[in-house]
């Protein structure tokens, strides 16, 4: 601790250079944090997927439906404990940019399959009693100011017309990563009002007795409906979510490439700054060695200085992303879970420190090897 003022004094020596170096770290870490947030948002479904849930969809495409009659047949397959279903409604509130996912779900089984979502019992009872009722996730409710008792008009892009719903309740997730942007309404209301596609559902969600048996149960389901007019494709919820992400492209690779380029550039910029800084202070370092500071302590001083740039800049950049993400999803519903996880912040800080250490290493070794007599001669 007694050396902190020495490091701080050197950091303040060239204020503009310090500002630019810290700024480089801050911008790089801001970008890293943003990319990590986007990646988390894309992978949210994969992260929170239930290990005991299978998604059963039409083998042709997710947008193709399945018959309602499959529900009972699915329940007869060994290993299946519960079955529910949902249909994509694809509407919007007032303006197309006010998008959030609306699902017509089966009221009797929905929460059995998704126990991670919590709705107050009274509100759920009201939902069961109201054919036009809906339950809205906390994030969407807060974003649009929906309250219990409100009547919400939704423009139905797929089914046509404006459908009105009574807000019966607000649901929350039990985990931070749970998606609380959804809007649930009753599948029997959809069935009643839709003018086409009656007797069909979007997809089934099956809960299995034993997660270890999930692949075998999925295979049994697909075999059960093979060679029918409505063949199925069953997969674990995790695989389903991962496949959904892949449709957008290889986000992981994209983020890795951008992140690597940014950090490599940062390494060059900071390395150059540190080298310049040490070259300018050759005489001072020689004097410190003359006074009795060992080669090793000089090495640590230089490394500590580059670490200070990294930590200050990194912390500023990550704090900036954190503030940015507090505003929520900037895409209008495409990335519902838009937040910077603490683990990603820690990773970002560690990456910044690694870059700081690498960029300071060469100048630190130069300073360590500095010969006092030669350096003093140059003053």
Pick between residue 10 and residue 181 the one whose CB is nearest to other proteins: 10
Pick between residue 355 and residue 370 the one whose CB is nearest to other proteins: 370
- For residue 17, the minimal CB distance to other proteins (Å) is 13
CA atoms within 13 A on the CB side of 249: 5
Options 9-17, 155-163, 203-211, 324-332: segment touching other proteins (CB under 8 A):
9-17
Beta bridge partners of 118: 172
Report if residue 64 touches other proteins, rule: CB under 8 A. no
Report if residue 300 touches other proteins, rule: CB under 8 A. no
- For residue 278, the minimal CB distance to other proteins (Å) is 14
Distance CA 159, CA 90 (A): 9
- For residue 356, the minimal CB distance to other proteins (Å) is 20
Distance CA 341, CA 33 (A): 9
Report if residue 12 touches other proteins, rule: CB under 8 A. yes
**Helix 251-280 vs helix 342-369: angle between axes, to the nearest 10 degrees?**
30
- For residue 369, the minimal CB distance to other proteins (Å) is 12
Distance CA 338, CA 39 (A): 9
Options 54-62, 212-220, 242-250, 293-301: segment touching other proteins (CB under 8 A):
293-301
Q: How far is CA 369 from CA 270, 287, 355, 365, 375, in A?
A: 21, 14, 22, 6, 11
Q: Which two tokens stand for residue 365?
A: 């070794």
* Burial (0-12, 13-18, 19+ Cβ within 10 Å), 364: buried
Report if residue 129 touches other proteins, rule: CB under 8 A. no
Report if residue 304 touches other proteins, rule: CB under 8 A. no
Question: By rule CB under 8 A, what string of x and - marks binding of each residue 237-276 to other proteins?
Answer: ----------------------------------------
Distance CA 204, CA 217 (A): 14
Q: What angle do CA 316, 23, 323 make, to 5 degrees?
A: 30
- For residue 281, the minimal CB distance to other proteins (Å) is 9
Q: Which of 222, 284, 328, 353 binds other proteins (CB under 8 A)?
A: 284
Report if residue 296 touches other proteins, rule: CB under 8 A. yes
Report if residue 373 touches other proteins, rule: CB under 8 A. yes
Of residues 317, 269, 343, 226, the one with CA closest to residue 28 = 317
- For residue 271, the minimal CB distance to other proteins (Å) is 22
What sign for the dihedral angle of Cα 217, 184, 199, 64? negative
Report if residue 5 touches other proteins, rule: CB under 8 A. yes
- For residue 310, the minimal CB distance to other proteins (Å) is 20
Distance CA 69, CA 192 (A): 17
Number of residues that bind other proteins (CB under 8 A): 24
Q: Which of 94, 228, 294, 343 binds other proteins (CB under 8 A)?
A: 294
CB contact at 8 A, 86 and 201: yes
Report if residue 299 touches other proteins, rule: CB under 8 A. no
Binding footprint of other proteins on the chain (CB under 8 A): 2-3, 5-6, 9-10, 12-13, 283-284, 287-296, 372-373, 376, 379
């Amino acid at each position: 601790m007694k050396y902190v003022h020495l490091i701080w004094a050197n950091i303040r020596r060239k204020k503009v250079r310090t500002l630019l170096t810290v700024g480089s770290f801050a911008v790089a870490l801001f970008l890293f944090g943003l990319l990590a947030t986007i990646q988390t948002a894309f992978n949210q479904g994969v992260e929170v997927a239930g290990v005991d849930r299978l998604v059963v969809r039409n083998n042709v495409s997710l947008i193709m439906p399945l018959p309602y009659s499959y529900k009972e047949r699915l329940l007869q397959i060994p290993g299946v404990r519960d079955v529910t279903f949902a249909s994509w409604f694809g509407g919007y509130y007032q303006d197309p940019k006010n998008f959030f996912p609306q699902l017509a779900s089966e009221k009797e089984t929905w929460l059995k399959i998704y126990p991670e979502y919590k709705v107050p019992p009274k509100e759920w009872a009201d939902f069961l009693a109201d054919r036009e009722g809906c339950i809205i996730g906390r994030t969407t409710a807060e974003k649009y100011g929906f309250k219990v008792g409100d009547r919400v008009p939704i423009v139905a892009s797929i089914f046509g017309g404006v459908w009105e719903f009574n807000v019966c309740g607000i649901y929350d997730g039990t985990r931070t990563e749970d998606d609380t942007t959804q809007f649930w309404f009753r599948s029997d209301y959809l069935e009643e009002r839709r003018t086409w596609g009656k007797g069909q559902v979007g997809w089934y969600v099956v809960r299995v007795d034993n997660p270890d048996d999930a692949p075998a149960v999925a295979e049994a389901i697909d075999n059960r409906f093979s060679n029918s007019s409505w063949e199925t494709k069953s997969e674990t919820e995790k695989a389903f979510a991962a496949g959904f992400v892949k449709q957008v492209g290889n986000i992981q690779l994209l983020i890795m490439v951008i992140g690597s380029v940014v950090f490599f550039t940062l390494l060059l910029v900071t390395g150059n700054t540190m080298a310049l800084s040490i070259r300018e202070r050759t005489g001072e370092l020689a004097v410190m060695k003359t006074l009795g500071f060992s080669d090793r302590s000089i090495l640590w001083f230089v490394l500590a200085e580059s670490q200070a740039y990294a930590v200050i800049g990194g912390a500023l950049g990550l704090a900036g992303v954190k503030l940015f993400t507090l505003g929520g999803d900037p895409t209008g519903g495409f990335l519902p879970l838009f937040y910077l996880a603490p683990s990603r912040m820690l990773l970002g800080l560690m990456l910044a420190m690694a870059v700081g250490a690498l960029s300071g290493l060469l100048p630190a070794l130069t300073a360590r090897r500095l010969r006092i007599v030669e350096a003093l001669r140059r003053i």
